[in-house]
Structure 1
Amino acid sequence: MTEPRHPIVEMPLRVRYHECDGQGIVFNAHYLAYVDMCAFEAEKALFGSHDEFLAHRTDVVVAEANLKFRAPARYDDELVVSQYLTHLGTTSLIFDFELRRGSTLIAAANVRYVFIDPATLRPAAPPDAVRKIYADLLGD
């Protein structure tokens, strides 16, 4: 039996009226915005702030994002976005995100980020201190 996953963060949010489309459900692009908001919350939890993360002379950019929609979210729904680290490579890392309304999974995302050197914007391995923080999440 595998152990349950533990999220880096669980970010609550309430769907705002302007995020809904003519069908009365959250417009699909907003789900990636929710994921991005959660990623910044995880960065704050792990490093203190985005500026403190950047002080390590590294940054990340999205290289790939995949969404699976399971159920619609609507205006005023209370959601929770959870983030899980699933892979740490040499210059990349992969996170899973779950978006839930109560116990109902409404969407799942898988996002691959690439570490870059902020000065050149080219892929670069993260510093050891950053790698250790992420590796500890995986139990490596």
Structure 2
Amino acid sequence: MTGSRRPIVEMPLHVRYHECDGQGIVFNAHYLAYVDMCAFEAEKALFGSHDEFLAHGTDLVVAEANLKFRAPARYDEELVVSQYVNHLGTTSMITDFEIHRGATLLLTATIRYVFIDPATLRPAPPPEAVRKVYAATLEGREG
């Protein structure tokens, strides 16, 4: 999925006991929470904080999510969640996520976000400063 691109962020994650189901593996809904946590870490890496991102007069909402489960995670395991920008459109952005346990790929996710005007909650192109930051993450990726 990611080729030789560098992730925006690699977020370490320690699986907590309450995130596991009766089968002893991470309950599937928690993986989407892990991805969301990583997206906020990426915002911090790119803009300084979520509030600094919002200060640009834009916000993001999830429009579509696709998760592919490859292998299970279990209690007390150390994971790494990584995010990559895949596509930057006029009012939307597609990002890819990977969750690894060591060298083992556990999950891939593709999330389509829509930029919105926080006042109207309607789709709106992001300000040029925000577009430039995200566009820079696409530079040098394999086509």
Q: TM-score range by the shorter chain?
A: over 0.9
Q: Distance in 1 between matches of 2:92 and 2:129?
A: 15
State yes or no: 1:123 paired with 2:115. no
Give the root-mean-square deviation of aligned CA atoms: 1.3
- Moved runs in structure 1, 4+ residues, more than 3 A? none
Structure 1 unmatched runs, 5+: none
Q: Which residue number in structure 1 is paired with residue 16 of structure 2?
A: 16
Q: Distance in 1 between matches of 2:61 and 2:23?
A: 32
Q: Which moved more, 1:2-11 or 1:123-132?
A: 2-11
Q: Which residue number in structure 1 is paired with residue 57 of structure 2?
A: 57
Q: Distance in 1 between matches of 2:124 and 2:48?
A: 22
The CA deviation at 1:5 is 1.3
Deviations 1:82-103 (A, max 9, x none): 0000000000001100000000
The CA deviation at 1:138 is 1.0
How many residue pairs were aligned?
A: 139
The CA deviation at 1:20 is 0.2
Distance of aligned partners of 1:91 and 1:32 in 2 relative to their CA distance in 1, 3 Å threshold: same
Q: TM-score, normalised by structure 2?
A: 0.95
Question: Percent same amino acid at aligned positions?
Answer: 81
The CA deviation at 1:26 is 0.2
Q: Which letter does structure 2 place at the counterpart of 1:136? A: A
Q: Distance in 2 between matches of 1:3 and 1:24?
A: 32
Equivalent residues in 2 for 1:80-99, closer than 5 Å:
80-99=80-99
Q: Which residue number in structure 2 is paired with residue 71 of structure 1?
A: 71
Q: Which letter does structure 2 place at the counterpart of 1:71? A: A
The CA deviation at 1:139 is 1.9
Q: Which letter does structure 1 place at the counterpart of 2:98? A: E
The CA deviation at 1:113 is 0.1
User: Alignment partner of 2:132: what SS?
Assistant: helix
Deviations 1:50-109 (A, max 9, x none): 000000000000000000000000000100000000000000001100000000000110
Q: Distance in 2 between matches of 1:82 and 1:138?
A: 15
Q: TM-score, normalised by structure 1?
A: 0.97
